[in-house]
């Protein structure tokens, strides 16, 4: 496990553990099947990764180590892509991605300038969704934070609402 772990209990007293994996700086979530996490029930964890895309769907270039921020020129039009990956190849993380878009900072702080929920599509253990495109951007700092919202079928498989990382975008 990585750093910054936190532990909570769900409505049935089963542990939910979230932690950052230090190498990839992704927030991970474990959801146990029983209070002692030890009944042999497979743990269903989803990982959310994101990337700010240019109109041709290539990622905007990384400008901060570890790609905590991407860069784009003034006037760029971008959208965000979310990828949700299950830790079980046979269980598809269906549902929606919630894109919160922030203007004025790289850190996803304050109230989002917009929020958009997009249905995920995919198969196997990977689903993806993309936000709609921005207007041409003026110079400044922007950011996206994405969240995985499981649908009823995914909840029945054990998936829970899972946050993704904050990703910054510097337009200059
Ligand atoms: Zn794209």
What is the pLDDT, as a whole number, of residue 1? 43
Q: pLDDT digit string (tens) for 54-94?
A: 999 999 999 988 888 999 999 999 999 999 999 998 899 99
Burial class (CB in 10 A: 0-12, 13-18, 19+), 156: exposed
pLDDT at position 132: 97
Q: How far is the CA of 144 from the centre of ligand 1 (A)?
A: 14
* Average pLDDT taken over every residue of the chain: 85
Cβ < 5 A residues, ion ligand 1: 53, 57, 81, 130
The pTM (predicted TM-score) of the whole model is 0.75
pLDDT at 12: 62
């Amino acid at each position: 496990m990585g750093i910054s772990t936190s532990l909570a209990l769900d409505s049935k007293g089963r542990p939910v553990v979230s932690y950052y994996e230090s190498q990839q700086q992704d927030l991970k979530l474990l959801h146990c099947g029983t209070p002692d996490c030890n009944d042999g029930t497979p743990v269903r964890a989803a990982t959310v990764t994101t990337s700010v895309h240019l109109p041709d769907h290539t990622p905007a270039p990384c400008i901060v180590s570890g790609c905590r921020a991407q860069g784009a020129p003034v006037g760029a039009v971008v959208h965000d892509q979310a990828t949700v990956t299950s830790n079980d190849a046979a269980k598809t993380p269906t549902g929606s991605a919630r894109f919160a878009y922030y203007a004025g900072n790289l850190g996803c702080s304050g109230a989002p300038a917009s929020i958009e929920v997009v249905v995920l599509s995919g198969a196997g253990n990977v689903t993806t969704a993309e936000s709609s495109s921005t207007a041409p951007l003026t110079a400044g700092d922007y950011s996206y934070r994405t969240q995985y919202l499981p649908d009823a079928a995914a909840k029945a498989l054990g998936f829970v609402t899972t946050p993704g990382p904050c990703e910054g975008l510097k337009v200059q």
